[in-house]
């Protein structure tokens, strides 16, 4: 166990803080803290490919010869994570699959032994607390999905706050929307923020940088979160200032990226993950400048990770879909295309074998009463809906707003606010999964800046 610190709040120096990321994934939360000026010194994740992605982007490319720990969190000794007696901030996002609606549905189909309280991942927050407290962390940040507030009657963030309070911390939890922090995605997540009692209260919450162009009234804002106010440790998120820039849209985020598949008749090319292609245009807005900015304040001229999935049957469906269309509309379009094909090939219903064979080539087999939410064409004039780890399996949930295809790896990264110099050292499928699981770095940066203020950290 790390020795108790004797330094005062005013004695904390930003450059001396060790930030340790548990359940780090590919590094979205760490990158946000790095953007805010923190040093990421160690991290743990059970997924080796995600560890490699984070190691490369957070450490190796900056000349730091160190590997992050790939290990089951239950087997981690806190002493493995520290190099000295400098103060520690512990951050992390324990697995959300047991809490999320999508995850619960999948787990139920696998049997009772993988569902509800029988899913051990639901209680990995205890390992997060164990390590955080053993490290005598001066501050703690935990992220998870909003559904964790009601996990079969348990409010996980509230439980975490109460346990941390018993261990000598002041702790709050709140719900933040990534779009309010400059991310082109309406992704809501729960954050627990805790500070050791000797360092003060959690007085400062993350400050929004962007505003919904259709911002709800303060009264409606309060109504939205009122159901959580019965919990002692819940704090209402800050309301975006009316002078903030408007939410970043999908069009803002993607319009300069390489054109990959202009029409459904285009030739499909599977680019390698490390193949770089030139941008369509110079950066046309502040978000694109931020994503393309280099160290010397120039902008990148080309970009990698321009690969997307080969879904031959559905490219022509995507082409006729309008922004916002879901699977119900996609299925209707598929039937129209099938009817046109029957007429063209002069195939009649009575020719059952030929008819059914052609139908398989045009019409997806999914139930329109159950499947409609799994397909969605992005609207270029709005932020994206939430990216999820299922992107690792398919990208029908995020169809490109202009081109007739699913989004590319780089486009998914843009929608999560990973800059274009963030390299995914893995396959296309693994990259999609890592991106979908990640905390958007710009949202993480907003949280990190609040931690800075609560600890009154000094630079230099």
Annotated catalytic, 244?
no
Residue 35: count of CB within 10 angstroms of its CB: 17
User: Which residues lie closer than 8 Å to 301 by C-beta, 6 or more apart?
Assistant: 278, 279
295, with CB counted inside 10 A (0-12, 13-18, 19+), is: exposed
- Dig out the tokens for 363 from the structure: 């019409």
Residue found by looking up tokens 């299922």 in the block? 390
User: Of 409, 414, 404, 411, whose CA–CA distance to 433 is shortest?
Assistant: 409
Rounded Cα distance, 37 and 20, in Å: 14
Contact 103, 2 (CB under 8 A): no
User: Which residues lie closer than 8 Å to 405 by C-beta, 6 or more apart?
Assistant: 260, 261, 308, 309, 311, 315, 318, 399
Supply φ then ψ for residue 42, to 5 degrees: -160, 160
Catalytic residue among 26, 51, 70, 96: 96
What distances in angstroms separate CA 444 from CA 190, 228, 326, one per listed residue?
12, 22, 30
User: Which residues lie closer than 8 Å to 9 by C-beta, 6 or more apart?
Assistant: 198, 199, 200, 455, 456
Determine the 3-state secondary structure of 24 from DSSP: coil
What distances in angstroms separate CA 439 from CA 29, 229, 342, 425, one per listed residue?
5, 25, 47, 18
Residue 431: count of CB within 10 angstroms of its CB: 27
In DSSP terms, 21 is beta-bridged to: 43, 91
Residue 114: count of CB within 10 angstroms of its CB: 16
H or E element at residue 54: helix 48-54
- Dig out the tokens for 322 from the structure: 């309008």
Residue found by looking up tokens 């690969």 in the block? 307
H or E element at residue 354: helix 352-362
Rounded Cα distance, 325 and 252, in Å: 20
**Dihedral sign, CA of 166, 167, 171, 173?**
negative
User: What amino acid positions are annotated as catalytic residues?
Assistant: 96
């Amino acid at each position: 166990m790390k020795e108790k610190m004797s330094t005062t709040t005013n004695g904390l120096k930003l450059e001396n803080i060790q930030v340790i990321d548990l359940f780090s994934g590919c590094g979205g939360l760490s990158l946000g803290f790095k953007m805010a000026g923190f040093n990421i010194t160690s991290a743990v994740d059970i997924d080796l490919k995600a560890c490699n992605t984070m190691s490369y982007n957070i450490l190796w490319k900056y000349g730091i010869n160190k590997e992050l720990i790939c290990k089951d969190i239950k087997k981690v000794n806190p002493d493995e994570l520290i190099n000295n007696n400098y103060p520690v901030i512990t951050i992390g996002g324990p697995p959300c699959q047991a809490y999320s609606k999508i995850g619960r549905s999948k787990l139920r189909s696998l049997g009772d032994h993988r569902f509800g309280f029988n899913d051990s991942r639901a209680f990995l927050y205890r390992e997060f607390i164990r390590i955080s407290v053993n490290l005598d962390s001066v501050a703690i940040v935990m992220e998870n999905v909003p559904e964790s507030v009601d996990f079969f009657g348990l409010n996980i963030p509230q439980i975490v706050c109460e346990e941390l309070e018993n261990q000598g911390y002041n702790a709050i939890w709140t719900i933040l929307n990534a779009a309010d922090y400059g991310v082109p995605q309406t992704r809501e997540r729960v954050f627990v923020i805790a500070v050791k009692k000797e360092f003060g209260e959690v007085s400062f919450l993350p400050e929004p940088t962007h505003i919904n162009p259709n911002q709800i009234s303060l009264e409606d804002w309060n109504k939205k979160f009122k159901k959580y106010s019965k919990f002692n440790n819940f704090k209402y998120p800050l309301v975006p200032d009316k002078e903030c820039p408007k939410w970043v849209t999908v069009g803002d985020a993607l319009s300069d990226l390489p054109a990959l598949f202009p029409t459904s008749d285009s030739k499909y090319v599977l680019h390698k993950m490390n193949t770089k292609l030139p941008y369509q245009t110079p950066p046309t807005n502040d978000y694109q400048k931020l994503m393309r900015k280099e160290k010397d304040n120039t902008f990148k001229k080309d970009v990698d990770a321009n690969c997307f999935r080969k879904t031959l049957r559905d490219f022509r469906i995507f082409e006729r879909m309008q922004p916002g269309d879901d699977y119900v509309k996609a299925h209707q379009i598929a039937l129209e295309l099938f009817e046109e094909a029957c007429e063209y090939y002069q195939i009649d219903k009575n020719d059952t074998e030929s008819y059914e064979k052609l139908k398989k080539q045009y019409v997806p087999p999914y139930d329109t009463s159950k499947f409609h939410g799994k397909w969605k064409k992005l609207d270029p004039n709005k932020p994206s809906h939430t990216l999820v780890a299922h992107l690792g399996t398919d990208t029908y949930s995020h169809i490109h707003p202009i081109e007739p295809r699913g989004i590319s790896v780089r486009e998914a990264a843009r929608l999560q606010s990973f800059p274009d110099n963030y390299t995914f050292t893995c396959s296309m499928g693994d990259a999609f999964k890592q991106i979908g699981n990640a905390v958007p770095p710009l949202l993480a940066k907003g949280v990190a800046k609040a931690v800075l203020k609560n600890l009154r950290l000094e630079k230099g």
